[in-house]
Amino acid sequence: VVERVYRRIVDEGMGLIALHSAHLSKVFKRLMGTPCNVKWREAGERERIWVVGGGHPIAEGLGDYFEIEHEEMYGEPFEIPQPDELVFISWFKGGEVFRSGCCFHRGLGKAFYFRPGHETYPTYYDSNVLRVIGNAARWCAPVDRPRPVHGNVKPLEPL
């Protein structure tokens, strides 16, 4: 299943949104090529999510930051490749920071990782979180474009 989903993303342009602990999912780890490990603490602490990619479509409609009162902490180092675009960075009351909104292009597809969402907190009722997920779904959607041509090709002009 993992290889089939991976191929749909890379070869066919399907999008992927990985929420919270999905950083450890098999398909996300396959896309990243890394272990994707993090530091974590389940203490229900405040998270301030800074918008560092304000011009990015995933951040549309948000202010400079938003806060979630009770969340599980994830902290750096986050074992992923350098994101193609970083949209959000989180700060937690305990002092840790985390790259919490990361965009990746993989072949014809796009992937977005968004950190908030521990199951014991009402994170998915927060209007800002819902806006991010909706914006991310639009950003990750496949784009109608010609498939790239590979291999031995004829010249565009006479040689």
Task: List, for residues 51-66, the tens digit of each pLDDT value.
Answer: 999 899 999 999 999 9
Query: What is the Cα–Cα distance from 16 to 108, expressed in whole angstroms?
Result: 12
Q: Model's pTM, two decimal places?
A: 0.92
Q: Which CATH class is domain 2-140?
A: alpha beta
Segments making up each domain of the chain, as ranges: 2-140
Task: List, for residues 58-97, the tens digit of each pLDDT value.
Answer: 999 999 999 999 999 999 999 999 999 999 999 999 999 9
Query: What is the Cα–Cα distance from 128 to 44, expressed in whole angstroms?
Result: 18
Q: What angle do CA 85, 54, 124 make, to 5 degrees?
A: 85
The residue with tokens 């304000």 is: 54
> Do residues 118 and 40 make contact, with C-beta atoms less than 8 angstroms apart?
no
